[in-house]
Amino acid sequence: MGTHMTLFRTNLLKLAIPFLLLGLSQCVGAPPPSSAVDENLKSIQADYVIFGLTDYLTRDGVREALVQADTAYFYRDSTVVILRGNVHLLAYDKDLGTERAQVSSDRGRLNTINNSRVARGKAILIIEKDGRRIESPELSYYPALDVISSDSITVMHEGDMIVEGTGFDSDLDFLNVRIRNGKTRGGVIR
């Protein structure tokens, strides 16, 4: 019985070797398995990437703003966060905690030291208390200086009136909104 079992194992081994060699020959020259990481992700230079960012900006424990973006890129050697896709900022009144204004844009930059933000690409500012709408390719928000401004072409919609200019400056209470080199169409100037 021992000889029969040894003979069976030897024959089984002789039968299995060609199949093993055939399987191994299929591996030679075959392309490596594709990576599970998207090639676009490999090209990102950021140290950290957050998809679906929601971040509350505070100063001395008081909420100043809420920032949202589809994607945020963080860099170890920088205090700037790059924001991309459906970027929104909701600014709060520091005394009342109510919504003061909304800014939306295609992309932006957030400075984590002073909570300043630059909105770029179809930037739109909506002033909550009176519904004024200010549009510009770029808006800069500086909460520490109590300023929001633009050095780019600006259009302000206020009721039936449209004011176009080369930029604008405003305090964050929107009491002193100044459109630079403004030209008015329609409506009545207040």
Answer whether residue 17 is part of any domain.
Answer: no
> pLDDT-based confidence at 121, cuts 50/70/90?
very high
Answer whether residue 147 is part of any domain.
Answer: yes
Answer whether residue 14 is part of any domain.
Answer: no
Q: Determine the pLDDT at residue 51.
A: 93
Answer whether residue 125 is part of any domain.
Answer: yes
Answer whether residue 22 is part of any domain.
Answer: no
Burial class of 68 by CB neighbour count within 10 A (0 to 12, 13 to 18, 19+): middle
More confident residue, 72 or 60: 72
Answer whether residue 159 is part of any domain.
Answer: no
Q: In this structure, are residues 54 and 70 in contact, taking their beta carbons and an 8 Å threshold?
A: no
Nearest to 136 by CA among 172, 174, 180, 91: 180
Q: In angstroms, rounded to a whole number, what is the distance separating the alpha carbons of residues 107 and 75?
A: 17
Per-residue pLDDT averaged across 24-44, rounded? 63
State the residue range of the domain holding 102: 41-152
Answer whether residue 21 is part of any domain.
Answer: no
- How many domains is the chain built from? 1
DSSP 12-55: HHHHHHHHHHHHHHHHTTPPPPPPSS-HHHHT---SEEEEEEEE
Q: Determine the pLDDT at residue 99.
A: 87
> pLDDT-based confidence at 7, cuts 50/70/90?
very low
Domain at 56, CATH number: 2.60.450.10
Torsion angle of C-alpha atoms 94, 54, 149, 64, degrees rounded to 10: 10
Q: In angstroms, rounded to a whole number, what is the distance separating the alpha carbons of residues 15 and 9?
A: 10
Say if residue 8's pLDDT is above 60.
Answer: no
Average pLDDT over the chain reads 82
State what percent of residues in the chain have pLDDT above 70. Answer: 75
Amino acid at 156: M
> pLDDT-based confidence at 22, cuts 50/70/90?
low
In this predicted model, what pLDDT tens digit does every residue of 162-181 receive, in sequence order? Answer: 999 999 999 888 888 899 99
Per-residue pLDDT averaged across 138-165, rounded? 91
Q: Determine the pLDDT at residue 27.
A: 61
Q: Determine the pLDDT at residue 165.
A: 95
> pLDDT-based confidence at 68, cuts 50/70/90?
very high
> pLDDT-based confidence at 52, cuts 50/70/90?
very high
Whether pTM exceeds 0.75:
no
Q: Determine the pLDDT at residue 125.
A: 93
Answer whether residue 64 is part of any domain.
Answer: yes
Q: In this structure, are residues 156 and 133 in contact, taking their beta carbons and an 8 Å threshold?
A: yes
Q: In angstroms, rounded to a whole number, what is the distance separating the alpha carbons of residues 129 and 93?
A: 11
